[in-house]
Amino acid sequence: MLRDATINFDTTGTPPIAAGQAFAGKIMDDRKSAKPTPEAACEQTDWLVAVRDKRDKLAFARLYDHFSPRLKGMLVRSGMTQAAAEDVVQDVMLTIWRKAHLYDETRARASAWIYRIARNRQIDVIRRRPRPVPDELIAEAETRETREADAAIGLEQEAAQLREAIEALPEAQREIIERAYVGELTQAEIREATGLALGTIKSRIRLALEKLRHELRDLREE
Amino acid sequence: MTEITHHLPDWLVRSYATGSLGHAFSLVVAAHVSQCDECRARLEAEELAGGLVLDDLKGMAPSDDLRRRVFDGLDDDDVIVAEQPARAGIYPGAVVEAMGADSPRWRALGGGIKQAILSEDKEGSARLLYIPPGMAVPDHTHGGLELTLVLQGSFSDETGRFGVGDVEVANDDLDHTPIAGMEDVCICLAATDAPLKFKGLLPRLLQPIFRI
Ligand SMILES: [Zn+2]
């Protein structure tokens, strides 16, 4: 039963696409009729878009109220003192405000983007050196508008399915997943543990990246 | 750019996303993802899962002082958000950051082979290797896991050919002899979670014990 919902990590470098799709396909069977609707969008993502596009301070306050306790909880659980965690939360919230123009809702939900910023900052602080991060693939505002508006909603639906899948896991499995993403597991423990099947989500983000590359190329050629 | 055929294993992408990976391996992940959209998508999928867990997490009330500090900071233009340097030639931004310059400070190892150590800590080390065409890549595993990312040229061994962007994941039980391709000097980013073998400055007894 564990096999149904999880896959083993391997070290061969082969992405477990087949396993991921089989897994997600099973969940999707029940919800084939679900069509993208604007209501399916995530309110945190809407807030972040409002911060990006309108420098909306009320939306920012909502993001703060939603994420700052969660970020603090996560950082304390992964080993920081409360004071150090609050310093990181402060930096994360100010980074959200200043880097909102880089946010691309067709590739990331607000919580995913904020999760990454928090990890980057936390690791900068605990290792006292900058965390190596991938070069940014920047979405220009004009290309973002030409990409399909429902890409974000599609991502939201994938997220809802993944959330259901996590909730359907046996308690012990769910706890391992939570501990891994909170940052309580070591590299060796993550290597030993089984992982979530993220194949269909990966494919969707991959598509968004392809579109972005395409648009950026067109822009450059103009 | 040629097609990347050798990608990061899942557990590495996930360990990076969750913040549990040491500096040397993180450098390889960041450098590979910089040029591989397949692994960028996998990393962003992991971050989506991380965001879901964050969203459902039982929080911890922040102090009133934190709220004040954050909202005071919004209009404070002195707050600087640190940026990683941009890519320089074949070197992704993360590598430029680790080099502390736009090009490596090479040190000769003999036979035309050079290296530039980028980082070394208790969790492992990372360095750049410069291998002239047709030369064997020095085998520097020391009982750990080794990741080798090609930044220029290529190398081949018993397991296949590795071109620009490809990453080889080798356990110490892999007995291989990689040879640089004839088309160009091969420049690789190599990271290991074991102490460096032929740096030779640290007495064996002082070398820390590692968890694999
Ligand atoms: Zn890849």
pLDDT in tens, A46-89: 999 999 999 999 999 999 999 999 999 999 998 999 999 999 99
| CB-CB neighbors (< 8 A) of B49 in chain A | 162, 177, 181, 196, 198, 201
Contacts for A158 with CB less than 8 Å, ≥ 6 apart: A24, A200, A201, A204, B48
A93 domain residue, yes or no? yes
The confidence score (pLDDT) of residue B50 equals 97
Which residue in B27, B37, B66 is closest to A68 by CB distance?
Answer: B66
CB A190 within 8 A of CB B17: no
Residue A162 belongs to what domain range? 37-132+147-221
| CB-CB neighbors (< 8 A) of B47 in chain A | 108, 112-113, 115-116
Residue B162 backbone phi and psi in degrees, to 5: -120, 115
pLDDT at A5 over 50: no
Q: Which stretch of A70-84, A186-200, B116-130 has the lowest confidence by average pLDDT?
A: A186-200
Q: Which CATH number do you get for residue A119?
A: 1.10.1740.10
ipTM for the complex shown: 0.89
The confidence score (pLDDT) of residue A143 equals 63
Is B167 part of the contact surface with chain A (CB cutoff 8 Å)? yes
Confidence label for A33 from pLDDT (cuts 50, 70 and 90): very low
Domains (ranges, CATH) in chain B? 1-59+92-212 (2.60.120.10)
A9 domain residue, yes or no? no
Q: Global pTM? A: 0.85
pLDDT digits (tens, 9 = 90+) for A81-122: 999 999 999 999 999 999 999 999 989 999 999 999 999 999
Of A37-41, A112-116, B107-111, give the range with the top mean pLDDT: A112-116
Contact A9 B84 (CB under 8 A): no
Structural domain count, chain A? 1
pLDDT at A23 over 50: no
> Of A149 and A129, which is predicted with more confidence?
A129
Cα gap B39→A54, rounded to integer Å: 32
Which residue in B20, B41, B45 is closest to A183 by CB distance?
Answer: B20
Cα gap A27→A59, rounded to integer Å: 33
The confidence score (pLDDT) of residue A22 equals 35
Confidence label for A27 from pLDDT (cuts 50, 70 and 90): very low
Contact A9 B50 (CB under 8 A): no
Contact A132 B74 (CB under 8 A): no
Interval between CA B212 and ligand 1 midpoint (Å): 23
Interval between CA B6 and ligand 1 midpoint (Å): 7
DSSP structure string for A100-169? GGG--TTT--HHHHHHHHHHHHHHHHHHTSPPP-PPP-PPPHHHHHHS-TTHHHHHHHHHHHHHHHHHHS
